[in-house]
């Protein structure tokens, strides 16, 4: 049977999609190649969030085409994912040696289409059409015994996005929100736990929007999770996503639950309360704020204010002291003034994020922001990116230093990629910890004492607390 190599660009959703496609192909008899040069099929799972990600994938494919013409003339080359969805036939017109373009609702067709191409039944395939029920087709997992895939797993709970932030192409590449049923998701999670998984991360473009498209029960309405309880009002109603968390929490053998990425608008009192109520829900929250300026937030169509964001952070820290809070921030959005940027800096100082992923604004075609006036010059974007990164790193370093001497619980994922003599795990608040360990530690929940820190890494000693 043929061999396949998949290279993934972009987010955790893309990682999960690549894993599912790989698992489907392995089930059909394909083997996994160690490199693209040794593969009969090479697929690039692409990202469109920033222009840089698209250019990387395009340049990579050009290199693959050149090598294939010289060394592997029968090699099948394909694009999958977000760029494939947005550009479609255009990709083959620009690179005629590409054989397959597979959209975001067609991952489950990969094996079928590759079989046809390898058998010579079809010369080129471009499929970026929408497909009903595609949200429930990404179920396969490749639990091959490696640390990352056997201890923890991603589970896709929905596809698409209805937020339509003015800078973002995702609603156009992933389509409108479509949610799987709770029963279907729980069944997949149970299967994973039975195969040794101890931590599950629930995935969606905006996970807190989960279930708003599903048939409603009398006790459930789409706005339940956004309602703030009034004094004396009693128990808070649970939005669909919190109901899902409750259901997954009941799975025997599962130790930890995480989710990404939410939207600040989805943090109603029911979700905040879940952090305090559900022991398996890790005290870690990724809250993409994007800007500290209300004016810019409105231009971005984010749907919340700076004050509302700060109130969410305060509630989370009150509900779960020690919670790790990370964020996404865009610098250089069209019309962003120095005053706007200073508001972002002051927000970072006030919140004291544990980490922040900072992005220089990238114009995406067919998005409203691409045509907005007052596009910020690239040099200013670069300078603001540098200033904010410096501040974020300074805050994060202080917070990491605060772990020295503390005892923390980690879930051991396996050997470190950089040093096989060391093992790696994560704290509940999502810090990476390295320690001198062995294969017997893999998959264990264990306590370590933190002795020192590195760059966004903690170093621990398990012997001190596990005698």
* 3-class state of residue 270 by DSSP: helix
Tens of each residue's pLDDT in the chain, 467 residues:
899 999 999 999 999 999 999 999 999 999 999 999 999 999 999 999 988 999 999 999 999 999 998 999 999 999 999 999 999 999 999 999 999 999 999 999 999 999 999 999 999 999 999 999 999 888 889 865 443 447 999 999 999 999 999 999 999 999 999 999 999 999 999 999 999 999 999 999 999 999 987 764 433 433 334 343 443 445 668 999 999 999 999 999 999 999 999 999 999 999 999 999 999 999 999 999 999 999 999 999 999 999 999 999 999 999 999 999 999 999 999 999 999 999 999 999 999 999 999 999 999 988 999 999 999 999 999 999 999 999 999 999 999 999 999 999 999 999 998 888 899 999 999 999 999 988 888 899 999 999 999 888 999 998 665 54
Question: How many CB atoms neighbour CB 382 within 10 A?
Answer: 13
Residue 197 CA: distances (Å) to CA of 151, 190, 364? 5, 9, 38
The reported pLDDT for the residue numbered 4 is: 97
CA atoms within 13 A on the CB side of 190: 10
Q: How far is it, in rounded angstroms, from Cα 142 to Cα 31? A: 12
DSSP summary character for residue 376: P
Buried/exposed 273-290: b ≥16 CB within 10 Å, e otherwise? bbbeeeebbbbbbbbbbb
199-203, strands of its sheet edge to edge: 152-156, 199-203, 256-260
Kindly give the residue spans of alpha helices, DSSP state H, lying in 278-375.
294-300, 306-319, 338-351
The reported pLDDT for the residue numbered 165 is: 97
Please, which residues have CB within 8 angstroms of residue 237's CB and are 6 or more apart in sequence?
A: 219, 220, 221, 224, 227, 270
Q: How far is it, in rounded angstroms, from Cα 441 to Cα 248? A: 25
The reported pLDDT for the residue numbered 102 is: 98
Spatial contact of 459 and 408, defined as CB atoms under 8 Å apart: no
The H or E element that residue 16 is part of is helix 12-27
pTM of the model: 0.91
DSSP 88-122: THHHHHH-TT--EEE-TT-GGGHHHHHHHHHTTS-
Sole residue written with tokens 């009941």: 250
Query: Of the candidates 175, 182, 206, 196, which has an alpha carbon nearest to the alpha carbon of residue 107?
Result: 175
Q: How far is it, in rounded angstroms, from Cα 115 to Cα 117? A: 6
Spatial contact of 286 and 326, defined as CB atoms under 8 Å apart: yes
Tens-digit pLDDT profile for residues 89-113? 999 999 999 999 999 999 999 999 9
The reported pLDDT for the residue numbered 327 is: 98
């Amino acid at each position: 049977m043929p061999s396949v190599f998949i290279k993934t660009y972009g987010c955790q959703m893309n990682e999960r999609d690549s894993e599912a496609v790989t698992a489907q192909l392995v089930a059909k008899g394909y083997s996994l190649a160690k490199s693209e040069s040794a593969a009969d099929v090479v697929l690039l799972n692409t990202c469109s969030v920033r222009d840089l990600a698209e250019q990387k994938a395009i340049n990579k494919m050009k290199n693959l085409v050149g090598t294939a013409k010289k060394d592997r003339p029968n090699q099948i080359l394909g694009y999958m994912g977000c760029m494939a969805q947005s550009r479609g036939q255009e990709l083959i017109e620009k690179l005629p040696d590409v054989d397959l373009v597979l959209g975001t609702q067609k991952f489950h067709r990969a094996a079928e289409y590759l079989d046809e191409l390898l058998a010579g039944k079809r010369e080129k395939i471009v499929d970026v059409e929408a497909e009903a029920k595609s949200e429930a087709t990404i179920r396969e997992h490749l639990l091959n015994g490696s640390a990352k895939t056997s201890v923890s797993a991603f589970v896709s709970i929905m596809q698409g996005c209805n937020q339509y932030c003015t800078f973002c192409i995702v609603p156009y590449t992933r389509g409108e929100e479509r949610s799987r049923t709770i029963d279907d998701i729980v069944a997949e999670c149970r299967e994973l736990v039975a195969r040794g998984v101890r931590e599950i991360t629930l995935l969606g473009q905006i996970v807190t929007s989960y279930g708003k498209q599903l048939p409603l029960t009398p006790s459930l309405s789409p706005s339940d999770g956004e309602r703030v309880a009034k004094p004396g009002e009693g128990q808070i109603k649970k939005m669909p996503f919190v109901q899902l968390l409750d259901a997954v929490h009941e799975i025997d053998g599962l130790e930890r639950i995480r989710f990404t990425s939410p939207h600040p608008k989805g943090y109603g009192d029911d979700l905040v309360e879940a952090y305090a109520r559900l022991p398996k829900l890790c005290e870690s929250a990724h809250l993409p704020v994007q800007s500290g300026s209300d004016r810019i937030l409105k231009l971005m169509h984010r749907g919340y204010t700076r004050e509302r964001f700060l109130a969410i952070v305060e509630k989370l820290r009150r509900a779960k002291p020690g919670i790790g809070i990370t964020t996404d921030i865009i610098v250089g959005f069209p019309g962003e003034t120095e005053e706007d940027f200073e508001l972002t800096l002051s927000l970072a100082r006030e919140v004291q994020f544990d980490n922040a992923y900072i992005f220089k604004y990238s114009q995406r075609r067919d998005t409203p922001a691409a045509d907005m006036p007052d596009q910020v010059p690239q040099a200013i974007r670069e300078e603001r990116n540098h200033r904010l990164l410096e501040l974020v790193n300074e805050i994060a370093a202080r917070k990491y230093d605060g772990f020295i001497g503390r005892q923390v619980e980690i879930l051991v994922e396996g050997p470190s990629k950089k040093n096989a003599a060391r093992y790696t795990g994560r704290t509940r608040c999502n810090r990476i910890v390295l320690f001198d360990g062995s294969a017997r530690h893999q998959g264990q929940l264990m306590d370590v004492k933190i002795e020192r820190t590195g760059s966004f890494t903690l170093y621990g000693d398990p012997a001190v607390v596990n005698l």
